[in-house]
Amino acid sequence: MNRRSEGALNVLMCAAGMVAAAASAAERPPPPEDGALVAADGTGQFKTIQDAINAAPPNCSQERPWTIKIRAGTYHELVYAQREKHFVRLVGEDPARTTVTFGLCASMPGPDGKPLGTFHTQTVWIDADNFSIENLTLENSAVRLGQALALRVDGDRATFRNCRFVGWQDTLLVNRGRQYFSHCEISGAVDFIFGGATSFFYRCQIHCLGNGYITAASTPSGQPFGLVFSECTIGGEAGARTYLGRPWRPFARVMFLNTEMSEVVVPAGWHNWNRPESEKSADFAEFGSRGPGAQPALRVRWAHGLSRSDAETITPQCVLGGNDGWNPLAENN
């Protein structure tokens, strides 16, 4: 995962979306004050999700969010939620029939002729705080071509419910901020949940498509939590073998709580990314793992278990509360 300078492609993405929105504004009825309808067949206010996001007003709040309803269909587009699009909700009909997809990968040439790099491949990029997505599939279709993001999140206090994230390598980048994922499905093979954010995954299904690593955390030093998985399930394709994670950065923090692990999880559990020094600084922990992939006696010695009393304190409120006391369970989503 090479970090390249950010900007060129993302500027083109949002600029193209704004131009398209302006060009078609006179041809459609105005959206209601509290949201909009997107339909690829033209029966809504917008045909693309990007146009609907661009039209969201700047004064949304938790009490008055702007809801973009998305009719079933496949939307071939790059989606960028700008920093100012607070309290906007994307709500699909259901993830099995409502998909946002694109196929950029890191090795493809960008506007300057150089490879895009990992951080410019996202199908959906959430840069706004207090953004939420429900009932959608977010896909990067560049399967097995290298690093290719389905979702990148830089916004704080983002929530994702009943969503599917589909990719192969680097499917889901939680880059910074805090996120809550509930009843989602995440598929991939190599480092497919990664980043430096504080993220809580509740009752999510993790599907391993091939040999690799589920997580690659880059938790900053001193950050209390990184990636936390609670009451999740880990499965995969026949013959796939995976590690629970490896440290992308030295202070990576990952926890699995009360998670069902199939035989796809290797007995060692964790990998040091061939950097033995990271064994002293990374914090990889489990509690209540069960299933064929839960083999505590065979785990690497530098990972550790949690006591029941400690595990019971690791709730969404504890992990995500921060200085502002954010509680995603209390939101009216």
Q: What was the pLDDT predicted at 2?
A: 42
pLDDT over 90 (residue 189): yes
Neighbours of 285 (CB within 10 A): 18
Q: Half-sphere exposure of residue 111, counting CA atoms within 13 Å on the CB side?
A: 9
pLDDT over 60 (residue 110): yes
Closest by CA position to 162, among listed 208, 203, 125: 203
Parse the chain into domains and list their residue ranges.
73-326
Task: Say which of 129, 154, 191, 283 is annotated catalytic.
Answer: 191
Domain 73-326 class? mainly beta
pLDDT over 50 (residue 251): yes
Q: Which two tokens stand for residue 310?
A: 């400690």
Q: How far is Cα 151 from Cα 79, in angstroms, rounded to an integer?
A: 10
Q: State CA 97 to chain mean position distance.
A: 19
Neighbours of 1 (CB within 10 A): 17
Phi-psi region of 68 (alpha: psi -120 to 50; beta: other; left: phi over 0): beta
Tell me the per-residue pLDDT of 278-318, one tens digit each, with 9 for 90 and over.
Answer: 999 999 999 999 999 999 999 999 999 999 999 999 999 99
* Amino acid at residue number 238: A
Q: Is 51 a residue of the active site? A: no
The H or E element spanning position 177 is none
Tell me the per-residue pLDDT of 198-217, one tens digit each, with 9 for 90 and over.
Answer: 999 999 999 999 999 999 99
pLDDT over 50 (residue 221): yes
pLDDT over 80 (residue 22): no
Q: Is 191 a residue of the active site? A: yes
Q: Which two tokens stand for residue 75?
A: 């939307």
* Contact predicate 199/230, CB 8 Å: no
Phi and psi torsions of 52, nearest 5°: -70, -40
Q: How far is Cα 2 from Cα 27, in angstroms, rounded to an integer?
A: 43
Residue in this structure with the two tokens 């995440």, named with its chain if needed: 186
Phi and psi torsions of 217, nearest 5°: -80, 145
Q: Tell me the β-bridge partners of 286.
A: 256, 305
Q: Half-sphere exposure of residue 333, counting CA atoms within 13 Å on the CB side?
A: 26
* Distances, alpha carbon 296 to alpha carbons 202, 253, 289, in Å: 22, 18, 8
Q: What was the pLDDT predicted at 11?
A: 40
Q: Tell me the β-bridge partners of 68.
A: 36, 90
Q: State CA 293 to chain mean position distance.
A: 24
Residue in this structure with the two tokens 């992939």, named with its chain if needed: 293
Cα R_g (the chain), whole angstroms? 20
Q: Global pTM?
A: 0.90
Q: What was the pLDDT predicted at 273?
A: 98
Task: Say which of 34, 170, 283, 324 is annotated catalytic.
Answer: 170
* Contact predicate 155/81, CB 8 Å: yes
Q: What is the mean pLDDT of residues 102-107?
A: 97
